[in-house]
Every structure is written in C-alpha cells, then in structure tokens.
C-alpha cells in the first residue's frame, strides 16, 4: 500500500535539486531558484495523471479538506454529511470551519450509504462528503443524484484511494472538489502533504490564495500581492513536493503491484465458505491497496483476529471495529465534544447527540470486517505464503 516502501534514488534526486539551490519555499525567489519549481511541477503532473483541471497542493490532507471547504463556501452552521467509518481528519476539517459533521451509516461499500444520506438531509445540509475508504469507492452516482436533487455540494475525501477510478474518472476529480493526502502511509507520499483537485476555476483560485494567507499571487512580487480574503498557511514546501514528484511517476507501477498481490491473496481467502468481500460499485476502479473481506458473524471475526494474533500474522490485518482511529465506536473525544477551545453551541450539541445515534447498521458491517493492507514489497512467493497461512487460520477458526 504505502509509497514509502519503494523510496529511493528517484526521490533523492528530486530533493537534491531543491537542496542545490536552497530555495525551500514554493513561491517567489524567482532568480535564486534557477528554474526549480517542484510544487508547480507536481501540481501539473497531478492534473495530467488524474485528469483534473486544477490542483492546489497543501501541507496535509487535512489542510486540503479544510481548504476545499473554505473555497466551496462551507462554514458556520452548515451541515456536512459524512460516514461513521473514516479517518478522524474528515471531521476535524469540518469542525475547524465552524461547520457541523453529521455522521451517518455506511453500507457494504464501506462508504456512505445513499439511503442514510437521504435520511439525514435537513435545511442546513450544505455538503455531502463521501470518504473513499481503503482504496475503493462510494456509490458516486447515487450520491451525485442526491446532490443534484437537493442542490448540495459533493466533496470527495479521496485521501485513501489515490489511483482508484469510478466509471473511468479518477476518484477525487468527480465531485465539486476532491482531496488526496500524501502523508507518510498513503499510496504516494510527500512525507507530509495533500492536494485539492477541482474542475472549477473559482474553487482553484480561492484554494490557491487560501493556502497562502489570502495572497492573490498576482503582484510582481509577494509584497505586492493583494489579499482579497482571509486565509491560512497551508503551504507545502519544495522539499515535500520534490518527494511527491518522484512518487507520482511510480504510481502506475505501485498500482500494478497492488492489483497483482491483492488478487493472489484473494484467491486463497475466497475459497473459504462464508467469507464474502466488500462491495465495489465499479470493480474496474479499485486501487487494490487493501483487500477487505467479511466473516459470517462478529464472534467468528473475533475468533479469526485472535487466531491471527496467536499465529503472529495479525500485522497488516485491520479490525477497524476495535480500532481507535477509524470508526465512531471509539471516538469518545468526538462524542464528548472534547475541544481545547470553545466550539459553537450547535457544534457541541451535534457532537453530544452522536452518543444517542443508532449506528447498528454500520456496527453490523464493521464488526464482521477485516481489511488486509497490500504491501508493495512482497515477492510473489511471499504473497502465496501469506495466502496459504491465512487460508489455514481461517479454515481452523471457522470450522
Ligand atoms: C490520511 C487521511 C486524511 C488526512 O490526511 P493527513 O495528510 O494525514 O492530514 C483524510 N482523510 C482520510 C480518509 C485519510 O485517510
């Protein structure tokens, strides 16, 4: 799965280009930088590779989500519908904008259930934010239809599904805006970084300024830029962008390895009666960074997890239901509205209300779900060996 596994000469070369000039900032210093513009180059590669009209790099995926929301005009009191299974960054970004995260059930796609989304719409709903978890996608057609009917914004959190597609289009380029994360464990990495992609020029122009203190980037130099609106510093550095530039050139290779390893592993697991797989709305678009499978019951799933632990092969197999980071069940800080600074009264109420929400449908899915992370460094022999061991553990645990 993560690009850091295949870090090497190419990354060092790109970073060295920046170290030669010492210009670590992405804007300005036109003379001393001697034509080295790694951030601009990476943005242009992202547009080309993913078919997005515009791309704005940021300092993280969280910053990308925050920037996208600002540029789309999502703020105080607006409700953003998002799934109960995601990474904490999705609701952190919503809260930081003064908006209200409305967490709803997932379905067997492991992403937003369109029915749950419909049921959660209120006059305050402004945006639907599908999160394409673990390398595969939400039912974007159904969600787009809901957005059209209710005049809502579609913002894709594609941070975990770089290289995935839906009906031929790259995930993250289908909604009004979409984001990737390039943090250290994502499919391609900058060390830290992220990007906002959009096909709307105004969303891009706003994102560009918002990530750099509101600078319009139209002056003859930085000092002459105007500030048409407030912004923050969510800039990426040239060193980080340089790493990403080397990584994006390897993406197709990463995806080919993921697909091969994923399919071999699957061929072992699918022989076990009672095991089923995650629903992928467009199977051709899976990025294959994870193989996600279901067992017949929570009890059997826990038994399998115990058996994997005992065999010493639990690493890389994620039981999200019991995980502190990805599922609402363990987000006590969120459900207790534990903020260092005062949240608005309506934000606090929405968070406390989560304690009483019913996530039975999601619990039912997540309690039987295991995701296996697909490594880029496994040899073919190793994948077969892993598959065979997993097969034996499953056969024993389920008999
Ligand atoms: C990683 C991730 C993010 C945020 O990325 P950072 O770059 O770590 O801030 C957002 N959403 C999801 C689903 C992620 O997995």
pLDDT tens sequence across 152-198? 999 999 999 999 999 999 999 999 999 999 999 999 999 999 999 99
pLDDT band at 228 (very low <50, low <70, confident <90, very high): very high
pLDDT band at 221 (very low <50, low <70, confident <90, very high): confident
Ligand 1 neighbour 90 (Cβ under 6 A): yes
Pocket test for ligand 1, best of 57, 62, 84, 373 (most atoms within 8 A of CB): 62
Which atom of ligand 1 is least distant from the CA of 183?
A: 7
Cα 60 to middle of ligand 1, angstroms: 8
Cα 5 to middle of ligand 1, angstroms: 18
Give the least confident one: 141-145, 212-216, 220-224: 220-224
Cα 320 to middle of ligand 1, angstroms: 16
User: In the prediction, which pLDDT does 1 show?
Assistant: 58
- Domains along the chain with CATH numbers: 3-251 (3.40.640.10), 252-398 (3.90.1150.10)
Give CA–CA dist 99/343, Å, rounded: 10
Cα 32 to middle of ligand 1, angstroms: 34
Residue 145 neighbours by CB under 8 Å, 6+ apart: none
Cα 179 to middle of ligand 1, angstroms: 9
pTM score: 0.97
Ligand 1 neighbour 131 (Cβ under 6 A): yes
Which atom of ligand 1 is least distant from the CA of 93?
A: 10
Which atom of ligand 1 is least distant from the CA of 60?
A: 7
User: In the prediction, which pLDDT does 338 show?
Assistant: 97
Sign of CA dihedral 167, 2, 88, 67: negative
User: In the prediction, which pLDDT does 397 show?
Assistant: 87
pLDDT tens sequence across 365-399? 999 999 999 999 999 999 999 999 999 999 998 88
Which atom of ligand 1 is least distant from the CA of 132?
A: 13
pLDDT tens sequence across 310-350? 988 888 999 999 988 899 999 999 999 999 999 999 999 99
pLDDT tens sequence across 59-90? 999 999 999 999 999 999 999 999 999 999 99
pLDDT higher than 90, residue 3: no
């Amino acid at each position: 799965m993560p690009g850091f596994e295949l870090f090497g000469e190419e990354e060092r070369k790109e970073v060295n280009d920046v170290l030669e000039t010492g210009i670590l900032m992405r804007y300005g210093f036109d003379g001393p930088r001697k034509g080295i513009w790694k951030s601009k180059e990476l943005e242009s590669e992202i547009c080309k590779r993913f078919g997005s009209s515009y791309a704005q790099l940021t300092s993280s995926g969280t910053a990308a989500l925050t920037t996208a929301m600002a540029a789309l005009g999502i703020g105080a009191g607006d409700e953003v519908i998002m799934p109960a299974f995601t990474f904490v960054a999705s609701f952190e970004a919503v809260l930081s904008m003064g908006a209200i995260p409305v967490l709803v059930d997932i379905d067997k796609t492991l992403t937003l259930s369109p029915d749950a989304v419909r049921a959660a719409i209120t006059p305050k709903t402004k945006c639907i934010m599908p999160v394409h978890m673990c390398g595969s996608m939400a039912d974007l057609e159904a969600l787009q239809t809901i957005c059209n009917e209710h005049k809502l914004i579609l913002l894709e959190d594609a941070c975990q599904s770089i290289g995935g597609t839906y009906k031929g289009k790259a995930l993250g380029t289908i909604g009004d805006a979409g984001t990737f994360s390039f943090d250290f464990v994502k499919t391609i990495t900058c060390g830290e970084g992220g990007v906002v992609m959009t096909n709307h020029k105004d969303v891009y122009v706003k994102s560009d300024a918002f990530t750099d203190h509101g600078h319009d980037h139209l002056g003859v130099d930085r000092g002459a830029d105007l500030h048409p609106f407030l912004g923050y510093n969510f800039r990426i550095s040239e060193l980080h962008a340089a790493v990403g530039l080397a990584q994006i050139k390897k993406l197709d290779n990463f995806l080919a390895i993921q697909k091969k390893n994923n399919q071999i592993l699957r061929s072992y697991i699918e022989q076990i009666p009672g095991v089923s797989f995650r629903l992928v709305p467009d199977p051709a678009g899976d990025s294959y960074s994870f193989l996600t499978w279901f067992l017949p019951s929570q009890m059997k799933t826990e038994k399998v997890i115990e058996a994997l632990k005992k065999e010493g092969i639990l690493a890389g197999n994620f039981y999200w239901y019991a995980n502190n980071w990805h599922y609402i069940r363990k987000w006590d800080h969120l459900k207790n509205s534990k903020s260092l600074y005062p949240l608005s009264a309506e934000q606090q109420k929405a968070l406390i209300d989560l304690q009483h929400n019913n996530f039975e449908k999601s619990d039912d899915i997540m309690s039987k779900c295991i995701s296996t992370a697909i490594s880029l460094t496994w040899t073919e022999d190793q994948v077969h060996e892993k598959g065979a061991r997993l097969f034996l553990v499953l056969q024993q645990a389920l008999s």
